[in-house]
Amino acid sequence: MLSERLLTRAVRYCADSFMKIEPCRVERIPGPKPGQPYMLYAHIPFCERLCPYCSFNRFPFSEKRAVPYFKNLRRELMMVKELGYDFDSLYIGGGTPTIMLDELCDFIDLAKREFSIKEVSCETNPNHLTLPYLEKLQGRVDRMSVGVQSFDDDLLRQMDRYEKYGDGKTILESIKVAAPYFKSLNVDMIFNFPAQTEEVLRRDLEMVIESGTSQTTFYPLMASPSVEKSLARTVGKVDYDREQHFYEIISETLAGGANAPFEHGSAWTFNKREASVAPEDAMIDEYIVDYEEYPAIGSGGMTYLGDTQYVNTFSIRDYNAAIESGRMSVMGKATFSKHNRMRYRFMMQLFGLRLDKKQWERDFGCSVAGGLPVEYAFMKMSGAFDRDDDECITLTPKGRYLMVVMMRQFFIGVNNLRDQARAALPEGERQLLFGSGCAECK
């Protein structure tokens, strides 16, 4: 539709214009603001094998790289504590954070001892949903997010996941076993993969419902231009013209009608209606919705504080060297104007389904329409707003899809930023990702 194409171009332009890294080396990130709530993001960049569509910072796993990395991650955790931070939430992403279970548990235990952490979210892959893993993670992790992407065996083969994680039926049974071990179990899915048909999508939805998961997130396929080109060569070009139709199928199947099994937690996250956690308390993958500012530790971590985003080196070697020398591993930063910070708030809160107008006025000293006249008018004229009064803005179904478009392009912009950081990798580490480098020999 026309509004989707216009929004895609506008967000792409904005992301390209302000998501540019300037070289930066600082000993420490800034300290906390009094009274400001923060969450902590920790990145563990190791995977058994690398998925072709993934733009996150990740490296082939080897124990001799991972053990010193975890040691330095714990050191960096204490650096953040020395700055005066406290956290009530910890999100551990990757990569595959559960790649070394004992190291991960030691890290979580240390974080819980040193900070006021009430909830821990962690990512994993289906092959780690086994009893030894589940029993050690139960009580340590509140919300587990499992990267499934699809239950369709042909799609799993195209994504290079079939041999790694098993067929769709095996993955489904693993989720059924794992669900009771966590306060919330999220199943991550991808829609609009080039070879995905409507029939395959509907079958994926049936299996998500059957799995017993308390939450599911359906991401549109999104990749930086470099990954998009490799996808086009291997599995076909992404067709954005059918994205809205697929999204409407997902929303109607999961959250359409009074007896729907799920309800929207964000524009692309769905919470099970009878889950034990109240919808307003359910955690979602996009922690940036609930925490606008957050420190991030680990190689490839991206800290957002005030008007600045700090990017940690993507090099494992450089990360270890920095931490061992007593400094943080920041290699670049991007600074945002007030106007761009308003755009960020507008996008994140509406993606989370409710923009708080009173908070906006307190923080920015203007109305939403006054601060972002073009963006506000475009969304209003597009029929995106359901409620728009003195208190808040909420979304219509069309508005939810437009937020999916906006977030898709935003994350593509973040992936471009990752590509900038990845371009600075030493040759040996570039070979691990893009050449014939061996996972065990570097």
Of 291, 326, 361, the position where a domain reaches its end is 291
Domain-ending residue, one of 271, 291, 311: 291
Same domain, 271 and 128: yes
- What's the domain range around 385? 338-395
Q: Give the tens place of pLDDT for each residue, 89-107.
A: 999 998 899 999 999 999 9
Q: Is residue 258 part of a domain?
A: yes
272 with 354, same domain: the answer is: no
194 and 101 belong to one structural domain: yes
Cα 354 to Cα 360: distance, rounded to the nearest angstrom: 12
pLDDT of residue 442: 33
- 224 with 364, same domain: the answer is no
90 part of a folded domain: yes
With a cut of 70, list the residues of the chain below it in pLDDT: 1-19, 51-55, 223-235, 275-289, 430-442
For residue 240, being part of any structural domain is answered with yes
**Shared domain check, 90 and 25:** yes
Residue 309 lies in a domain: no
**Cβ pair 190, 148 in contact under 8 A:** no
Same-domain status, 356 and 214: no
310 in a structural domain:
no
pLDDT tens digits along 335-385: 889 998 999 999 999 999 999 999 999 999 999 999 999 999 999 999 999
Task: Note whether residue 440 is domain-resident.
Answer: no
Q: What's the pLDDT score for residue 439?
A: 34
Residue with tokens 């289906």: 126
Among 94, 111, 200, smallest CA distance to 149 is for 200
pLDDT 10s digits, 372-419? 999 999 999 999 999 999 999 999 999 999 999 999 888 877 777 777
Per-residue model confidence (pLDDT) at position 375: 94
Is residue 220 a part of any domain in this protein? yes
> Does one domain contain both 276 and 374?
no
Specify the pLDDT at position 101. Answer: 97
- Residues 260, 348, single domain; the answer is no
Q: Are 362 and 258 contained in the same domain? A: no
125 and 274 in one domain? yes
Same domain, 285 and 346: no
d(CA 89, CA 120): 6
Both 390 and 283 in one domain: the answer is no
Tally of domains in the chain: 2
Residue 371 forms part of a structural domain: yes
Q: At what angle do helices 338-351 and 373-381 cross, to 10 degrees?
A: 30
**Where a domain ends, among 372, 395, 418?**
395
CATH no. for residue 123?
A: 3.80.30.20
Cα distances (angstroms) measured from residue 414 to each of 55, 340, 404: 9, 15, 15
